[in-house]
Structure 1
């Protein structure tokens, strides 16, 4: 819903305006999906950090994908105003930055654009919709990527998106626009589906992140090595039990056996992957742990559900972060 002091969105696009996708916060995930769209002939602009932008300007985006390296030509900038004129906006910033970035892009997003939140956590799309006057929908992301250097994205596996209903429930125009966006992603080779209620998928992805991200960050271990150790698997099941309990208290039913199967499947399909939290810790950057295990702890406290395992993992990652900041 609009907020009273929200900025006025840019003018709606007309039918003659060429379509364009803008990726806001184009790190590894955003750059990968931007590359997929650009490879299919879609005009794409990445909004990214300065080093990434400069590397792309000099050499193109280097995509390591299925055993080969491909140079992908697309535009890149550091300017949030580059969302102006885009009819599809993918928001890929860290959850910590959602509110601030939503305020930055709000004056420039066209009223008839589709904005997809490709972010970890369960509450980013509503946060964007508080500021951006356009069709906003959450998308659950199942992809393993890494950005070892500016201008370079390595694809490790996956790629599927599960998209929820638009925020403007019952609005035919929003539903049609979202359907067109989904078809566009599918045409670019992205496995994508839409579900009426995305909350179970959001919570299940949160569960998987809570089971892997903190432990991977604290040890810098890839998923396959984690899966080989019985104590780690027991830790992951304990995390899953807590998330299932909090989700149920919040009105979302998750099946524990499906969660455990999902945890096992990730280690099989993405054996070399280290979590995004591990990559942030390795680079000395702030992590999203407050929106992963930390969110479960806060939500559990509000709902009267104990979450000691998630609390311990959250505290340990915060301790590592504090050490990085103090030097």
Structure 2
């Protein structure tokens, strides 16, 4: 079973790998390192398989998984070194593996042995759990792993006999205030790889609020923001429609490094909120970080539509964050 908060597929794969290797099982890790044309999964996507045929993750959305699982789990002589494999290179490849729109994909398939790789995989999982971006450097001749601290999450490169794969912290989302909008936002955020926490100090609003995969914290939001949701991989959404709760969370959020801060409400409500926050000492430059009314303006009225508009804006900001990090660290 996935750990709470493991909405991010890569985190689940690494956690499963650590468990299998820790139990003494051999495993294989398949990493998408490059795609050409249309591809259902981006570079950096992972698929892990153990010797019993159990699997975790995805590299093609179903096109290649069955073949890879059968191949590696039934290998009589699995070898000890990684293999670089291209799929979809020829027309027959494309027909056999049904790669969409003539797409092409390059994978690195790594056989992992408990004696050699249990400790490195555990180190990688520890960095992920501590929210530290880290690059695993794989020698494609020997299969040995080493690690390099990184500032750029979620990048992958294969060059000069080496695989460099950076895994960054999972994106976290804090929802302040229970309700139907929060329910739909949580569902869509989980599908997009966020871990989701609901902060709701009002016991009445929590009655009947139960969403699988969402952690619920019955507390005030300001301390929670400062202690757990203050880094650059966090999105904070105030959805409570109660200034006593929303404003506390927003004050703390605007002092944090969160990549997205949003608040639900009408234009009039947003103006009144900005005036209150100004009176509480929020500067004009800090206020520019606040997305209010929340989400892209698509004419949304119903809770599901508001959730779609909000998540679309959050995802756009998450992609801008990654581009900024890459541009500031071109090496």
TM over 0.5: no
**Structure with greater Cα Rg:** 2
More strand per residue: 2
More helix per residue: 1
Range class of TM-score, shorter chain: 0.3 to 0.5
TM-score, scaled to structure 2: 0.33
TM-score, scaled to structure 1: 0.33
